[in-house]
Chains A and B, each alone.
Chain A
């Protein structure tokens, strides 16, 4: 192994990023922590042993044997953990490659359907247009799923690229609300927006903040039961920006709440009424917000509604 590889192995932060894991889940960091624990155990065992056993050679022998056992166990655990993390990373990389390969034929379909539907290639009869619309809707669904899987793969392999810059979070929220208004009006849903005083610009990735916020609002609209209200609150809280989306929708059953940020999870009560949806949206929102050093959480009651919020550092 050359020196460059050894340095890379010793760079714990880089290793954790490679696996897309937090510090406390990272095999290399855990190996270091367990090493420190073993050293503490050696010192404590030695101090205790010399008080009880008279022959120092036996004490040293006992310490060496117990240390060896601990190091071997430590190595086995951490090595297995590392292999597991590596296989997860490779799996996500593979999913990323496959999804990318799927994009080309889907894009080809999308581009072929466009002139057919617009009538550029000759008049299309109503019945033909109905079938083409079905095709187009399903192409869009596949594309949405592929896009989501690609983002999930990037989050999990730690390669989601972020471009941080200063922007107005107020403008971003207001713009998004205007954009979702037609959908909310069509669903008979009123959106109320309340903002606190003196909300500063924030330094973050405006694209992903918008995606996260839009996803929460989209969910709030989709999972209403008929006429409903969505309350959006934006305010400054300490060194953070707090953004909340509260709906009067179907809510999340208590038993499902702990799984809500997991990949491909969809609550049982929405599966009955909403068949579309990839179950990746909230996983992506959480992944993105955490990458932006923010926090996300929610509270919910079935048949009463949900409140999702996230906060992001101002700088």
Chain B
């Protein structure tokens, strides 16, 4: 019996990060779904029902807060854990994201790829 891979939706407009994270997470055995803007990310979340969403905050078309709000207002996506992965680190942004329902808030500059990978593994265990 083939065990289906866990799906991770990565909503990030930086193609360099899409590549590095994509390679890392694929190697770890996850199925990657990529979105380069907030609007597409929200649509893909509703369509593909990922097990986890990695979400940047500064995004074209719809910012991360808008995506988060949209996810939590939808019955089908509201339970999907969301990790905020951003370079914004103002207390106001962190608080706002957590209040909107993000599971955790990671500042890119403060974590290595492997540290983020471990956090993902823990959440999806």
Chain A residues near B (Cβ < 8 Å): 100, 103-104, 106-108, 110-112, 114-115, 118, 120-121, 143, 146-147, 159, 161, 163
Contact = CB atoms under 8 A, between A and B. Distances in A.
Contact of B87 (A103, A114, A161): A103
Given A103-B87, A120-B27, A161-B91, A108 B14 contact: yes
Nearest to A120: B27
A108 B23 contact: no
Contacts of B17: 107-108, 111
B20 A115 contact: yes
Contacts, number: 48
A104 B113 contact: no
Interface string B61-86: 00000000000000000000000000
B27 A107 contact: no
A147 B89 CA distance: 11
B91 A107 contact: no
Interface of B: 14, 16-17, 19-21, 23-24, 27, 87-88, 90-92, 108-109, 112-114
A131 B17 CA distance: 22
Contacts of B114: 114, 118
A111 B20 contact: yes
Contacts of B90: 159, 161
Nearest to A106: B109
A104 B27 CA distance: 24
Residue of B14, B27, B92, B113 contacting most chain A CB atoms (<10 Å) = B113
A226 B19 CA distance: 45
Contacts of A114: 20, 112-114
B109 A107 contact: yes
A110 B107 CA distance: 13
B107 to A, nearest CB: 9
Given A111-B113, A115-B113, 11 more contacts: A100-B87, A111-B20, A111-B108, A112-B19, A114-B112, A114-B114, A115-B23, A115-B24, A118-B114, A121-B23, A147-B109
Contacts of A100: 87-88
3 shortest A-B CB distances, which residue pairs? A161-B91, A108-B16, A111-B20
B95 to A, nearest CB: 10
A114 B16 CA distance: 13
A107 B108 contact: yes
A104 B24 contact: no
Contacts of A104: 14, 87, 108
